Amino acid sequence: MSFPKKGKFFPKDNGYTGNGRHEPNNWFAAEIASTLKRSLGDSRAGAKIVASWTGANEKTVKNWFAGRYGPSGEHLVALARHSDEVLGMFLAMAGREELMVAVKLAAAEQAIEELLVAVRRLTADDEPDATEASPDGADFTVRQ
């Protein structure tokens, strides 16, 4: 018995479709699509935002949202720069989830710093002038 003239490939082993073509492994594109939809929604506005982040054509970005294709390396870097969800998905795909903890910790530190600045502004605005005294003569100044 001989193999058919189309080749020696078996469909279940390597994705051969029987028509001379191989089906691409789209797990990367599917992950990108689900992450983009989760973070930006499945709308035209989301595609426009991603196109502005990456500099890619809007039709290309729509293909990313549909899961037909994944972004190239440069576009993936731009997406990760603008979206923490894409960065987290990329790190998870690379098996480096522990690095996401460092990213979240840095974001928490920044949020705490911003909160402290806001509290300090509030306390600075509430301090009475030296000329103003409380009616009963008590001293309510904040000391550091």
Q: Give percent of the chain above pLDDT 70.
A: 70
pLDDT tens figures, 66-92: 999 999 999 999 999 999 899 999 999
Which residue type, as a one-letter code, is found at position 58? E
Residue 132, Cβ density class (10 Å: 0-12 exposed, 13-18 middle, ≥19 buried): exposed
| Residue % of the chain over a pLDDT of 90 | 49
Dig out the tokens for 53 from the structure. 């982040």
Buried b (16+ CB within 10 A) or exposed e, 73-112: eebbebbbeebeebbbbbbeeeeeeeebeeeeeeeeeeee
CATH topology of domain 16-95: 434 Repressor (Amino-terminal Domain) (1.10.260)
Whether the predicted pLDDT of 52 surpasses 50: yes
pTM of the model: 0.58
Q: Residue 79 and residue 53: Cα distance in Å, rounded?
A: 7
Write out the H or E segment, with its range, that includes residue 33.
Answer: helix 27-40
What residues does each domain of the chain span? 16-95, 97-126
What mean pLDDT comes out for the span 13-24? 49
pLDDT in tens, 20-48: 554 556 889 999 999 999 999 888 899 99
